[in-house]
Amino acid sequence: MKDKKIMERLSRIRQKIQQLMEKRGKCIDMLLRPKPMVIGSFYEVYKTCSKSNCCCMKGVKHGPFPALSISIEGKRKLKMVRKKDLAAVKEKAKEYQSFQQGLAMARRLNKEIDCLLEEIKKEFLEEYK
């Protein structure tokens, strides 16, 4: 039989796990109902042209032009967005970022739950002699 302090500690760990599982459940529920997404982060890009007498050569760049920053095979690429698609792409990129944050949160919660379960295991683990 474990002593009182250990049992109280185990009770606190179990309560923490329950809280984390509730939080994870809400996170998973959100991830199970995704909205349409596009991969990438939305940016506004400013550019210079090749005309030697243009104001962009003096620091006033052309733009902003809407674009998505996408990682392809570990390299960053900019994909320009057409004006007619701007509102939809911006919203879908926002949904993608939100989904990615939800995935990261679920993974962090899983890791924390795993660590707490390992603590419980240590209290009950015995070596066979």
Predicted TM-score (pTM) of the model is 0.80
- The answer to whether residue 66 sits within a structural domain is yes
Asked, for residue 59, whether it belongs to a domain, the answer is: yes
Q: One digit per residue, pLDDT tens: the chain, 129 residues?
A: 568 898 999 999 999 999 999 999 999 999 999 999 999 999 999 998 888 888 888 888 999 999 999 988 899 999 999 999 999 999 999 999 999 999 999 999 999 999 999 999 998 899 999
pLDDT number for residue 53: 87
**118 is a domain residue:** yes
Task: Provide the residue range defining the domain that includes 115.
Answer: 4-124
Strands lying side by side in the sheet with 41-47: 41-47, 62-72, 75-80
Question: Which has the closest alpha carbon to 113: 21, 25, 29?
Answer: 21
The pLDDT, as a whole number, for residue 85 is: 96
* Residue 95, in any domain of the structure: yes
Residue 129 is assigned to a structural domain of this protein = no
The reply to whether 92 falls in a domain is yes
In a domain, 98, yes or no: yes
Domain total of the chain: 1
- Give the list of residues 6+ apart from residue 81 with CB closer than 8 angstroms, or none: 42, 66, 67, 68, 89, 90
